């Protein structure tokens, strides 16, 4: 069974910026990027995942962006999930946006560039 798990992990290619690693400059990959360290610059990939220890400062373009760490800059994707630390003046552009963020200083402000529709089924029970 361990061999099967090891073989499966070899077939899933990803570019990983490990914790303790800092990269400055444009960063582009044809496979998913997982950020555990820090990137300062423009990032482009099919999927960008910023872990809780990760930080990205710059413009990020992907089909899907998941951020559990720190984000600053312009983030543009079809699907974006945010639950980390979002810097002031960060721009988020998405077709689908999932937020689970909390302000540590004051209130959170959202400004929509166009009207959005929220489906009743998207609300948690009791709201």
93 domain-assigned: yes
- CA dist 101 → 26, 32, 61, 72, 77 (Å): 27, 24, 21, 14, 18
Q: How confident is the model at residue 2 (pLDDT cuts 50, 70, 90)?
A: very low
pTM for the full predicted model: 0.79
7 domain-assigned: no
107 domain-assigned: yes
- Residue 97's H or E segment, with its range, is strand 91-99
Q: Which residue is it, tokens 């400055």?
A: 24
Q: Looking at 21-30, 57-66, 110-119, which range is the least confident one?
A: 110-119
Let me know: does 108 contact 93? Beta carbons within 8 Å.
no
Domain limits for position 86: 13-122
Let me know: does 30 contact 14? Beta carbons within 8 Å.
no
Digit-coded pLDDT (tens) for 18-53: 999 999 999 999 999 999 999 999 999 999 999 999
94 domain-assigned: yes
Q: How confident is the model at residue 84 (pLDDT cuts 50, 70, 90)?
A: confident
1 domain-assigned: no
8 domain-assigned: no
């Amino acid at each position: 069974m361990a061999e099967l798990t090891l073989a499966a992990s070899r077939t899933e290619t990803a570019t990983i910026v490990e914790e303790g690693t800092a990269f400055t400059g444009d960063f582009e990959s044809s496979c998913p990027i997982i950020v555990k360290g820090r990137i300062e610059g423009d990032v482009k990939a099919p999927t960008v995942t910023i872990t809780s220890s990760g930080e990205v400062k710059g413009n990020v373009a992907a089909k899907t962006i998941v951020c559990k760490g720190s984000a600053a800059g312009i983030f543009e994707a079809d699907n974006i999930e945010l639950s980390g630390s979002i810097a002031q003046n960060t721009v988020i552009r998405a077709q689908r946006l999932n937020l689970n963020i909390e302000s540590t200083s004051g209130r959170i402000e959202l400004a929509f560039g166009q009207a959005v529709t929220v489906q009743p089924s998207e609300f948690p029970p009791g709201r």
